[in-house]
Structure 1
């Protein structure tokens, strides 16, 4: 496999696209965002590969509640700061949340919570690099590339207590 490959899969939160090069997953995103993201993959071919099939299998296990940690090679393309944020996302445990301010502290830039939010929004490997676990300091869900309803669904799937209104996390 010389050039990247990608495939579309159905999921409980809508269709997803997964892309991989020979060594690693390089993208995982929502169908609604795919037209804008697709050009960044260059000459990628729509075709499966063993790595894409393994990613699909692990995603199905995640959505079935049988997987809490993904075991896939990942390759992030972005600025050094973005890569630092995306790698920090990988340390957020299943079923937990973290504020943008807390994530900024975690990456050693405590005042850069807005920049962390921007990096989070540009995350090329959604779900696996769990940007859905990052919320506002006041407990509100804040934005999400897949949409707030998808973010809410993913957090509920992980057992996070979402408040009645669905826009704030319940205390405790």
Structure 2
């Protein structure tokens, strides 16, 4: 599977694809699987360009095709995450209610934490019910930075 690394304002980002669809995004602190081959495909180049434009505040919706691997529930949650509009946040509870399972906020959180394509699948837009910035694979500071980028203002803790 091809992977290619891009330098960005948030550090080195690895993007992987399979059969023309993005499968993973890796932060510099993530472990990269050994079976990856480092080379840039047209799909990876487009994803890298879209990520660059997003981080510059010039792109609000990614259009590259995605194919994250996970359970049916995880895929359902990741699909819902892609529906959260740029510049807005929702809580884990909001998502649990949206799928008709108000007691599933923890399962929603677990699915969020297993998102293999952060940023492109915007799990950073999910916050605690009280407005707190909860866990993020790239770290809370990165989550805060992404929310500030999208909101055009500093994002504080409530």
The interval holding the TM-score normalised by the smaller chain is: over 0.9
Matched, 1:92 2:92: no
Equivalent position to 2:126, from 131, 134, 155:
134
Matched, 1:167 2:157: yes
Equivalent position to 1:106, from 87, 92, 98:
98
Q: Which runs of 5+ in 2 are unaligned?
A: none
Give the Å deviation of 1:150: 0.3
Matched, 1:149 2:141: yes
Give the Å deviation of 1:127: 0.2
Q: Which residue of 2 aligns with 1:60?
A: 52
1 CA distance for matches of 2:138 and 2:72? Answer: 24
1 CA distance for matches of 2:152 and 2:76? Answer: 25
Give the Å deviation of 1:108: 2.9
- Which has more strand, going by share of residues? 2
Q: Which runs of 5+ in 1 are unaligned?
A: none
CA RMSD of aligned residues (A): 1.4
Using the size of structure 1 for normalisation, the TM-score is: 0.87
Flag as ranges the 4+ runs of structure 1 deviating above 6 A.
Answer: none
1 CA distance for matches of 2:96 and 2:6? Answer: 33
Give the Å deviation of 1:13: 1.4
Report the count of equivalent residues: 158
1 CA distance for matches of 2:25 and 2:98? Answer: 24
1 CA distance for matches of 2:44 and 2:99? Answer: 30
Give the Å deviation of 1:51: 0.2
DSSP 3-state at the match of 2:8: coil
